Structures are given as C-alpha cells and as structure tokens.
Structure 1
Amino acid sequence: MSSGYAGWRGRVQCAIGLVFLVFATLVPASFAQTPAAKAARTVLVLGDSLSAAYGLSASQGWVALTADRVSKTQPGWRVVNASISGETSAGGVSRIAGELKRNRPAVVVIELGANDGLRGLPLQQTRSNLERMIKLSQAAGAKVLLIGMRMPPNMGRDYTQGFERNFSELSKLHKTAYLPFLLEPIALDRGAFQADNLHPIATAQPKLRDHVWKALAPLLK
C-alpha cells in the first residue's frame, strides 16, 4: 500500500512537471506574437493664461475640455497642456525644443502673442518668435494649428492691424491650420469674462473649446 502510493505520487509529480515544462515553452512564444500597444499620438498646446485656465481650476479650461473630448471621440490621441500664465512668444521659443523632445507631438497648437501685444512689444519680434516655433514644430514632424489674437483699439490702428496680420501671414506662409481669433465667440459678451475683463469665466470655456475644435479636429484624422 505504501509503496504503491509512493509510485502513484511520483507519476503525478512527473506529469505536473511535464505540464509546467510545456507551458513554459509555449507561453513566451504566444506573448511574442502579441503586437505591442501603439503609443498615443499627442496634441501639444503651447499657450498663455487663456489656455492655462487662469482663475479657474485646470479641469474647467478649454484645453482640458478639449482633452476630455479627444479621449472620448479620438481613440489613440491625447492632449498635453504646456501653457503658462503670463507666457510671451519669447518664452514659448525658449521652451518649445524641450517640449517637442519630451512629448513628440503629432500636432502642436500655438496660442501665444497676446502678452506681447499687451506689453506693446515690437511686432517683428513677436512674428520672429512665432515663426521659429512653427518651423521647429514642423521640422519635428508635427502639424501646426496657429491660434490668433487681437488687440484692443487703444493700442493704435497700425499696431493692432499689424499684430493681427502677423498670425494670418505666418499661417499662409508656412501652410498651418489657422484660427484667426481665439475669443471670437465671446469677445462682445462682457459677462463671459472675469473681473479683469481679460480672462474668460468657466461657463465660457465650452464655447472656446467648440471654436478651437473646428480647426483642430481635421488635424486628428
């Protein structure tokens, strides 16, 4: 009885060992045949306080709302918001190479220049900075969406017209996607802005998201 049981147990252990051996040789092969998950393509947003949700929680801003829409409607895409309140075009130029290297975006959204205009910085300086960002983005293989801004009339006719023209001319020259004026849907609605009369309130952000989406969506196809 004892020797019979020992023999039976030995045969069972051998069988189990054989099963594990077969499993060990087959499983890695099946894993090797499974393709690696494809990395998500990135939309990189380089902007100022208008894109950084100034005065709001980050989740309320138009960029976060866009990211939420992208996650639901554009599988395989993600949005990275590299916007900083107070950023100028010069600041964007100083950061863009690092952002391109870190995020390897397929699309770059440039929403900068408003702070240049409000400070009355030379138009050619702003133009050169925006052009540099466009060229670097395109050289990295990314499509570019350039978002324009307008200045209040108190800056003077020559300055305001030249400022607006910078965006349209650069977009045409470098064949970028183009949105002439970020705040167009709410510009005439004082109630859509915070007390500073510069930054949109939370309930205005979905309108900005929808406005930008018209120019951004075609780049995600």
Structure 2
Amino acid sequence: MIKLVSLLCTLLFSSIVNSNTLLIVGDSLSAGYKMPVENSWPVLLPEKLKQQNQNIKIINASISGDTSGNGLARLPALLTKHQPDYVLLELGANDGLRGFSPDIVSNNLSAMIEQVKTKKAQPILMQLRVPTNYGKRYGDAFSSIYPSLSEEKGIPLMPFFLEYVITKPEWMMSDGLHPKEIAQPWIAEFIATELGKIIK
C-alpha cells in the first residue's frame, strides 16, 4: 500500500513538473529569421531549460514582421488553442521601426497582458529598443513602454537579448537588426537563465 501511494505521488509530481507550457508571441527576432527553424533559439530553448532542471513545453507562435497589433489580433485564438501557463511577449520592434506612436504599442501590449491574465496565465514582457537613428526622444519614449507596463501590471520584464548579441558583429546579419544562426545557442541560454528567475 505504501509503495502504491509513493508511486501515485511520484506520478502526480511528474505531472505537475511537466505541466508548464510557455507560449512565445513575437516577431522575426523569435521566428528564426532567414535560418532553418530548428536552429532558432525557441527550438533550442527546451534543452537549455532541461540543463537547469526545468521541463517546459515551448510553443513558438512568432511571425516575422508582426507588429503589436498583429499579435493582439492573433492572441485570443492562441490562448484558447494552447492554454499556456506562461506567455512571453516579444513584440513592438516592427512598430518602432515604422515609427508608430509609443501609445499605440503600449495600448496593444497592455491589452495582450490583460488577455493573458484573464486566461490565468503569467505574462512575461521582453524589453525592446529601436535603433538610435530614430532619434533620442522617440527611442527613449519607446524603450520606456516596457518597464512602465511591467511596473503597472506587476509582471516580469526580461532584458533585451539583442543588446548583448549586437556587441559581437560576427553574430549579426548584414541588416544590423537580426542575429545570425551562430548566435542562437547563446540566446537560448540567455532566455533559459532569465526564465529560471521567473519560473520556479
């Protein structure tokens, strides 16, 4: 009887450990831009998480070119279909590159965060920035969207991995915006480490 109870407890614990699902909703930075998708950081992420004793199912719903508005439109169906425990929002870069008002980006992300919370999932926001050639005023206003929302909504803010990758020119594509395939394992490691601070 004791062995049976022990086995049931073990199975229950294993089920709990394996229950976490992370949905990534992003743009080309998370979609494996111009590379085989199997070499992109979201595909490499589960193995990096396992090395940190985290067994998390990753669903990557990122699409190159997506804006925060696109993500907002797609999110309800994604939440219903996948029922994630965590949702990493990596959106806004394309809005910024097109000069969209920071208020639009903030409102879209805010609505996404609330949708995730309504589904009893944990939103995680990734900090994003735009190139300096868009001007300091716009750049500062855009960058401030993310910490402001993080504080207002009480959700984790993940550092922007590109800030570290871009310091290695050999890791960046010729457009100066996208990491090469060679950078993906490092990004996966970075994301896994940051997630380890959030997902206990």
Answer whether TM exceeds 0.5 for this pair: yes
Residue 54 of structure 2 is matched in structure 1 by 74
Larger radius of gyration: 1
TM-score by length of 1: 0.79
* 1:39-188 correspondence runs (5 A): 40-70=19-49, 73-75=53-55, 77-188=56-167
Contact 1:192 1:201 (C-alpha < 8 Å) held by counterparts:
yes
**In structure 2, C-alpha distance between the alignment counterparts of 1:168 and 1:40, rounded to whole Å:** 29
**In structure 2, C-alpha distance between the alignment counterparts of 1:144 and 1:193, rounded to whole Å:** 28
Greater displacement, 138-147 / 181-190: 181-190
Verify: 1:195 aligned to 2:183, yes or no.
no
Percent identity (aligned): 33
**In structure 2, C-alpha distance between the alignment counterparts of 1:68 and 1:102, rounded to whole Å:** 24
Cα offset for 1:71? 5.2
Moved over 6 A (4+): 34-37
Distance 1:102 1:59, change over 3 A: same
Number of aligned residues: 189
**In structure 1, C-alpha distance between the alignment counterparts of 2:79 and 2:198, rounded to whole Å:** 17
- The root-mean-square deviation of aligned C-alpha atoms, in Å, is 2.0
TM-score by length of 2: 0.87
**In structure 2, C-alpha distance between the alignment counterparts of 1:181 and 1:82, rounded to whole Å:** 19
Which has the higher relative contact order, 1 or 2, with Cα contacts under 8 A spaced 6 or more apart? 2
**In structure 2, C-alpha distance between the alignment counterparts of 1:168 and 1:214, rounded to whole Å:** 20
Contact 2:49 2:192 (C-alpha < 8 Å) held by counterparts:
no
Contact 2:116 2:123 (C-alpha < 8 Å) held by counterparts:
yes
Deviations 1:32-64 (A, max 9, x none): xx8898473210000000100101111111111
Contact 1:70 1:79 (C-alpha < 8 Å) held by counterparts:
no
1:206 to 176, 180, 185: 185
Distance 1:185 1:216, change over 3 A: same
**In structure 2, C-alpha distance between the alignment counterparts of 1:139 and 1:151, rounded to whole Å:** 30
SS for the counterpart of 1:185 is helix
Residue 4 of structure 2 is matched in structure 1 by none
